[in-house]
Amino acid sequence: MAEQKRDYYEVLGVDKQADDGAIKKAYRALAKKYHPDMNPGNKDAEKKFKEASEAYAVLSDPEKRRQYDQFGHAAFDGPGGGGGFGGFDFGGADFGDIFGDIFGDIFGGGRSRSRNNGPMKGANIRTQVRITFEEAMTGCEKEVELTLKDSCPKCNGSGAKAGTEPTKCPKCGGKGQVVFTQQSLFGTVRNVQTCPDCGGSGKIIKDKCPNCYGSGFISNRKKLSVSIPAGIDNGQMVRLREKGEPGTNGGPRGDLMVEVMVARHPIFQRQDYNIYSTAPISYAQAALGGDVLIDTIDGKVVYTVKPGTQTDTKVRLKGKGVPSLQNKEVRGDHYVTLVVNVPTGLTATARDLLRQFDEVSGDSLHAVEKKMGGDGKKDAPKKKKGFFS
């Protein structure tokens, strides 16, 4: 029996609302701790390293993370899926800078990150918005409220107190990296790593801004408008460019990823770009044919039922389905199952008329009596007795 996989968030030790930065930080710590080069011959450490790498490969990729949040491990089962640690596809994950740190620790910083103090894009932010089924069909504008960082107005993002400026880091000369050599089994190795004094910024702040405490950013509660396109499905994302965390050293802001949660509808069910529903029709409409009203996302439409329509007959309303995300003028279809309602609570007159109708249309009410010999008793099969009869 295959071993049951642990929850990816549990593996990394992060909350389900964790942002990209927190996920990367958690994986970096686990990768350093359990990397095979740090634990030679330790099979348990190797297993934990592969488990953490698989979790990071999914949670660091926005699309894979969306699928995992919606379907769990089942999202990657079957052909082309995970198939365990050995067969998992790590192609979408960025392990470069993380393994740079790991090998830097092992070999003295020989392959640390090379991002130095250049411009870097800020981290992406995830949030959710809830909409109705009808809003998903027509598109809508929604407002989300969240806390965002902005450049500090007192220091203009420098982090230094007004009237002062950051100074060039004396240790790295403003480059954000330090270089040193080290003797190893392979000879002299030249190592490059992030400057420990300035953290890679290349600058030292002596007098910190009292408004942002030297970070260069302040947090504000903001409301943003999100345009939800017609045809969006439950769990899909809307990306707001450069509405995420601010970048560093002049880099652009990250993006805001808005996950759309679509409420269920009491009548309609969606499958891809088609809609499915049921509609009741009367016995007379089913037998004689006639016009009936059917609910669609565009309102009620008239449909002509053919004479002799049976219950569970399926009809297709072409072009009455879900709009395409690429072109809202292109739509799927609406499939309706017609269900014949059997009348109840008939009046005496209605029952008499129904008996008359039955007599001229096959006399089904007396079919058994006729078949068994006129009085219904001759050679009639015995009725089954109850358990206590």
Q: What is the pLDDT of residue 374?
A: 56
- In the chain, where are the structural domains located? 1-106, 269-341, 347-389
**Banded model confidence at residue 107, pLDDT cuts 50, 70, 90:** very low
Asked if pLDDT for residue 384 goes beyond 60, the answer is no
pLDDT of residue 325 exceeding 80, the answer is yes
Please tell me the chain's helix, strand, coil percentages from 3-state DSSP, rounded to the nearest 5.
25, 30, 50
Q: Would you say the CATH fold of 269-341 matches that of 1-106?
A: no
What integer pLDDT is reported at residue 183 of this predicted model? 64
Q: Which CATH number fits domain 1-106: 1.10.1040.10, 3.90.1170.30, 1.10.287.110, 1.10.1740.110?
A: 1.10.287.110
Q: Which long-range contacts (CB under 8 A, 24 or more apart) does 291-297 make?
A: 292/338, 294/336, 295/267, 296/320, 296/334, 297/134, 297/137, 297/138, 297/268, 297/334
Express each pLDDT in 167-206 by its tens digit.
889 888 888 888 877 665 545 667 778 888 887 778 888 8
Q: Which residue, among 216, 240, 209, has the nearest Cα to 149 in the 3D structure?
A: 216
Sole residue written with tokens 């004396």: 170
The per-residue pLDDT for 118 is 66
Least confident range of 150-164, 253-267, 314-328 = 150-164
Q: What is the pLDDT of residue 106?
A: 46
pLDDT band at 93 (very low <50, low <70, confident <90, very high): low
Mean per-residue pLDDT for 256-277? Answer: 96
Least confidently predicted of 70-74, 146-150, 241-245, 329-333: 70-74
Mean pLDDT of 130-139: 96
**CATH superfamily assigned to domain 269-341:** Urease metallochaperone UreE, N-terminal domain (2.60.260.20)
- Judge whether residue 114 has pLDDT over 50: no
* Calpha distance 278→334 (Å, rounded): 10
Report the candidate in 320, 361, 124 with the shortest Cα–Cα distance to residue 240: 124
8 A C-beta contact, residue 81 and residue 12: no
pLDDT at 242: 92
Q: What is the pLDDT of residues 20-39, one digit of tens each?
A: 889 999 998 898 888 877 77
pLDDT band (50, 70, 90) for residue 375: low
Evaluate if residue 290 carries a pLDDT over 80.
Answer: yes
Average pLDDT over residues 150-157: 87
Phi first, then psi, for residue 99 (nearest 5°) are: -70, -25
Sorted by sequence, the CB contacts under 8 Å of residue 179 that are 6+ apart come out as 190, 191, 192
Lowest mean pLDDT among 145-149, 176-180, 286-290, 381-385: 381-385
Query: Which pLDDT score, from 0 to 100, does residue 345 have?
Result: 86
319 confidence band (pLDDT: 50, 70, 90)? very high
Section 267-289 average pLDDT = 95
Strand partners, 177: 194
Does residue 348 register a pLDDT over 50?
yes
In 5-118, DSSP assigns E strands to none
